[in-house]
Structure 1
C-alpha cells in the first residue's frame, strides 16, 4: 500500500520503515495475537526499534496508531493518520462478515472490494500489487481485525495524545467518511490539523500518493 508514497519521498531526507503486521506481507504467521493487543504490540515493537519516528498510519493501522499515541511513547515524534479508523466501536455486521468470508483467497472479489473503496483509478500493476498482498494474508489475520479489533473503543483516551498530529481523509471515502474522521478523530485530538483530499476514496496511499507524500514532506 505504501510503495508509491515512499518512492516519492527524498531518500536524502527520509528513512522509510514499512511494517507488515503479523500474518501479513513478509511477517511471521503466529497462531495467536490476531486481535487489538497483538497488533498493537507489533506496532509498539516496530516504533521502539526505529529509535524515534514520525508514525504514518492508514485505516486499521490508523486506529492502532491513535491508541499507541495515547500512551505517549518516547519514540513517537509526530503522527500522520491517513483515512484512519476511529476510536469508536464498530458493531459486528453478519452480512459484511459473510462477504469477507467469501472474499478470502479470491482475486476477483478482493479486487472488487478494493475498487469499491476507491474513487480514483490506479494503474493495473498497482491494483495487482495490493491484491497480491491481500492474497498472501494469513486466514487468522484476515479475520482477526474484523472480529477482534473493530469493536475496541477508546475515545476517552484521545485527549492524551500530545504529539503534533495531521489527519487526512478522502472526500468520497465510503469506509471512513471525512465528516466522521473529522468529528471522531481530528476534533478529539488537541491541535490536530485536518486535511480532506478531493475526488479520493479510502486507499489514499495508492490513489493520491503525490498528495500523501506532500503531507509527509511538509509536516514531518
Structure 2
C-alpha cells in the first residue's frame, strides 16, 4: 500500500465500476481510484441487491480490506452518492472500519430524502427490466440517452448500455422501489465531512436545484459546482472537469458551506412545468458562483465584503458571496444602465471608494476596515453616507462617497434578490406564473388579500433571515 490519496468510487443505478475508468485516467498518479461494483451490478450482478444500509456494508468491507494508509475519499454518482452519505455518517459516528475518511464527492447524487421521481416513470422503469430482450435493449438505450447532456463516445455508450442490461433485475427493482425511496434525513443529519457536490445543468430530477434543496442542507462544509451541458452520468460525460475539481478540493477542502440551500418546496416549483425553461435556466445560472474575470484588488474585495456584511447581513447556514458577484459585474462592464453623474464609471468608482473607506479606517483606528468590529465599521459607513469622510489621493470626494454608498446599498439588495434562495426567503412565487406552453399559461387564479394557490403551499412565508437592510 502507498500513502497516496485513495478515491473509492460508487456507480449509478445500472452502472458498474467501469464507469470510473475515464476519471481514473484524468486523475492520473495524483490519486488512486478504487471503483466498486455495488451488489446486483457489474461483476456483482449475481447478488440480488439490497437496501442502502446493505450496500454501505458491502462498500465498508471493501474499504477495510484495502487498508488505505493515506487519506481516503468516497465518490458516488446518483445511487452511489446515497450510499456514500451513509458511509460518511458511519465514519463520523466512529466506525473503526471507516476511520480516515477525508472527504465526499457527490455527483448528481441521490439525496438523503426520497428521490424526486415521477411515480409513473418509476413504475415504467420497474416494468421494462423484466421484459423481452428486444424491449430491454430499446429501453436501456433510451435510459442512457435520457441521462446525458450530449452523446457519449460510441464505446462509452455501448459499455454503459451493456452494464444496464447485465444488472440483476431484482437489484434494479430493489433500488427503484426501495433504496431510492428510503428516508435517511434523520440518520444523516448534518455531516462535518468536507464535500464536493457536482450537478449537471441538464439533469432533470437531480439537477442543481434538487441538490441545493435536498443534499446541501446535510453538509456543513461543501462546495457546489454546476457543469453546463452535462446531464446525470457525470463521470462519463465530464471526467476532465471532475478531475480538476477533485484535485482542487483535496488540496483545499471547503471550510464552510459556500451558498444557501433552496427550500425543497421552492426547488420543486423551479423544476415544475409552471416555470418556463428560459427562466429556469436563468435561475440556475444565478445559483452558480461567477468564475471571473474580476477587477478589484484583494484588499478592495475584502473591504467590499466587510461593507456588505454590514449593509445586508446574512444569517443562517450558507451565504451568497455578494462581493464576488459584484466584482464580476464590475469587470464585465455591465450594469443597470445609469450612474450618478458625480461618479466615475462603476469599476473605478468602487475601487476608489473602497480605498477611501479603508484609508479612513487606518487613519482613525490604525487597522484596515475589514479588521474593525461591527460598531467601528458602522461608524465609518455612517460618515460615508453623510459625506464626512476625508478625501485621499486617488480616492473620491465626500459628496461622491455619499452617492457611491447609496449605489452600493441598492446593488447589494439587487444582487441578493437575484439568487433563487433569496426569492424563496421572501416567499416569492412569481416564477411559477407560466411554463413553456403559451396557450396554457397557468398564471394565478386567487387574487384576494392573503389568498394563496394550492401549488404555493410550503413556499417560505417566514420573516427574512438576513437582518435589516441599512
TM-score, normalization: structure 2? Answer: 0.44
Answer yes or no: is 1:3 the counterpart of 2:21: yes
What are the equivalent positions in structure 2 for 1:184-195 lying under 5 Å apart? 184-195=214-225
Answer yes or no: is 1:101 the counterpart of 2:119: no
Preserved contact between residue 47 and residue 75 of structure 1 (Cα < 8 Å): no
Question: What is the match of residue 86 of structure 1?
Answer: 111
Task: Work out which of the residue numbers 50, 55, 58 in structure 1 matches 2:66.
Answer: 50
CA distance in structure 2 between the partners assigned to 1:137 and 1:129 by the alignment: 12
Task: Work out which of the residue numbers 18, 39, 46 in structure 1 matches 2:55.
Answer: 39
Q: Which runs of 5 or more structure 2 residues have no equivalent in the other structure?
A: 1-18, 93-97, 251-470
Q: Secondary structure of the equivalent of 1:195?
A: strand
Question: What is the match of residue 21 of structure 1?
Answer: 38
Structure having greater relative contact order (Cα 8 Å, sep ≥ 6): 1
Q: How far did 1:100 drift?
A: 3.3
Shift in alpha-carbon separation, 1:78–1:179, aligned structure 2, 3 A: same
Q: Secondary structure of the equivalent of 2:157?
A: helix
Q: How far did 1:205 drift?
A: 0.8
Aligned residue pairs: how many? 218
CA RMSD of aligned residues (A): 1.9
Q: Secondary structure of the equivalent of 1:67?
A: helix
Question: What is the match of residue 167 of structure 2?
Answer: 137
CA distance in structure 2 between the partners assigned to 1:99 and 1:152 by the alignment: 18
Q: How far did 1:112 drift?
A: 0.8
Shift in alpha-carbon separation, 1:158–1:36, aligned structure 2, 3 A: closer
Which structure has the larger Rg over C-alpha atoms? 2
Shift in alpha-carbon separation, 1:192–1:95, aligned structure 2, 3 A: closer
- C-alpha distance after superposition, 1:177-216 (max 9, x if no partner): 2111022112321021111111111111111111111122
Shift in alpha-carbon separation, 1:95–1:133, aligned structure 2, 3 A: closer
CA distance in structure 2 between the partners assigned to 1:107 and 1:216 by the alignment: 34
Question: What is the match of residue 81 of structure 2?
Answer: 62
Q: How far did 1:79 drift?
A: 0.7
CA distance in structure 2 between the partners assigned to 1:200 and 1:183 by the alignment: 19
Shift in alpha-carbon separation, 1:207–1:101, aligned structure 2, 3 A: same
Question: What is the match of residue 152 of structure 2?
Answer: 122
Question: Normalized per residue, which structure has more strand?
Answer: 1
Question: Normalized per residue, which structure has more helix?
Answer: 2
Q: How far did 1:43 drift?
A: 1.8
Q: How far did 1:167 drift?
A: 0.6
CA distance in structure 1 between the partners assigned to 2:245 and 2:202 by the alignment: 19
